[in-house]
């Protein structure tokens, strides 16, 4: 299966705070020609080094997805990558003046809207879309991800709660542009109050607030939820961002308790299987 490649029609800029660094950061997204991929350029570093957003360049999955090289990296790419996946953007240059993308409101909604406003430009070259012909399965402990054959890209996710005031959640969607925007893009990242001090001591969540994350306290979520299963929907959002680093495919992804680490392991396995 093939489709045409896409970039954006015009560049756009966005400034916001990094979720983990707590620092202001500006991204400038620019169109790229065919077969260039999604590329990040660190304009704050000497020589403005670039890196391609691909599974082979993932260097960390601790609380976010990070791509990088030996001396520099780009953190928290998953929400932008998720919106790019939904809108089938294949070629894009993202100039960034720090080591972490802005968190926006904790979801992918703002990134999606910025891309739509810039416009999606169809390009002349084809993009290969692979079809899953047999199950692909990864598991660690009680976390699991499986991809089954399907004519669509479909994701089913079960969020299993260990919190006494938070119920288990389930969400399932066939992914297309409208469904993504209406049902997935606005789902926010989340954290637990008992973890915040430990995370900040580790240099994480320094920019987190009720404006860009759901905070779960002793009695449950402190913020008003946008969906009754917002946690499960955000996990689907993250999966879409993380699998953007693998070859594009149609299939049914089923996730249980999984996060960025298992998403990354699945993406590596997908690349190995689909490109063999």
The whole-angstrom separation of Cα 103 and Cα 237 is 14
Domains for the chain: give ranges and CATH numbers: 2-128 (3.30.230.20), 131-274 (3.30.1700.10)
Instruction: Kindly list the distances between the CA atom of residue 218 and the CA atoms of 14, 191, 205, in Å, as whole numbers in the listed order.
Output: 35, 12, 19
Instruction: Say if residue 214's pLDDT is above 80.
Output: yes
Q: For residue 31, which of 92, 81, 75 has the smallest C-alpha distance? A: 92
CA-based R_g, the chain, Å: 18
pTM of the model: 0.95
The whole-angstrom separation of Cα 239 and Cα 144 is 12
The whole-angstrom separation of Cα 203 and Cα 235 is 23
Confidence of residue 245 (pLDDT cuts 50, 70, 90): very high
User: What are the DSSP E strand ranges found in 21-167?
Assistant: 24-31, 38-42, 50-52, 58-60, 66-68, 73-74, 92-96, 120-128, 130-131, 136-140, 143-148, 153-159
Catalytic option among 6, 20, 252, 260: 260
- In the numeric block, the tokens 């169809």 are attached to 122
Q: For residue 134, which of 48, 251, 231 has the smallest C-alpha distance? A: 251
Is residue 252 flagged as an active site residue?
no
Confidence of residue 193 (pLDDT cuts 50, 70, 90): confident
Tens of pLDDT, residues 6-65 = 999 999 999 999 887 888 999 999 999 999 999 999 999 999 999 999 999 999 999 899
Rounded to 5 degrees, φ, ψ at 89 are -85, 120
Q: Is 238 annotated as a binding residue?
A: yes
Contact 40, 117 (CB under 8 A): no
- Please give the mean pLDDT across all residues of the chain: 95
Instruction: Say if residue 258's pLDDT is above 80.
Output: yes
- In the numeric block, the tokens 């809108």 are attached to 87
Confidence of residue 206 (pLDDT cuts 50, 70, 90): confident
CA torsion 60-64-67-68 (nearest 10°) is: -60
Q: Is 163 annotated as a binding residue?
A: no
Q: Is 151 annotated as a binding residue?
A: no
Instruction: Say if residue 114's pLDDT is above 70.
Output: yes
Q: For residue 148, which of 138, 156, 158, 136 has the smallest C-alpha distance? A: 136
The whole-angstrom separation of Cα 185 and Cα 191 is 18
Instruction: Say if residue 199's pLDDT is above 70.
Output: no
């Amino acid at each position: 299966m093939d489709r045409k490649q896409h970039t954006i029609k015009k560049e756009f800029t966005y400034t916001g705070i990094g979720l983990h660094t707590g620092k202001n950061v500006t991204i400038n997204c620019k169109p790229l020609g065919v077969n260039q991929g999604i590329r990040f350029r660190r304009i704050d570093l000497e020589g403005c080094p670039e890196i391609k957003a691909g599974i082979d360049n993932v260097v960390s999955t601790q609380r976010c997805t990070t791509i990088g090289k030996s001396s520099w990296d780009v953190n928290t790419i998953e929400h932008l990558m998720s919106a790019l996946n939904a809108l089938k953007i294949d070629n894009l240059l993202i100039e960034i003046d720090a080591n972490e993308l802005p968190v926006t409101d904790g979801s992918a909604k703002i990134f999606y809207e910025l891309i739509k406003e810039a416009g999606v430009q169809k390009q002349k070259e084809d993009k290969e879309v692979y079809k899953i012909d047999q199950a692909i399965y990864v598991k660690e402990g009680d976390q699991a991800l499986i991809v089954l054959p399907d004519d669509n890209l479909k994701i089913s996710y079960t969020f299993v709660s260990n919190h006494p005031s938070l119920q288990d959640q389930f969400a399932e969607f066939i992914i297309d542009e409208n469904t993504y925007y209406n049902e997935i893009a606005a789902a926010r990242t989340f954290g637990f109050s008992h973890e915040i001090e430990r995370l900040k001591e580790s240099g994480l969540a320094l920019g987190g607030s009720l404006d860009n994350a759901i905070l779960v306290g002793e009695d449950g979520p402190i913020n008003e939820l946008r969906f009754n299963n917002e946690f499960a929907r955000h996990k689907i959002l993250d999966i879409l961002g993380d699998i953007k680093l693998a070859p594009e495919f149609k299939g049914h992804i089923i996730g249980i308790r999984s996060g960025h680490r298992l998403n990354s392991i699945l993406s590596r396995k997908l690349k190995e299987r689909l490109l063999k």
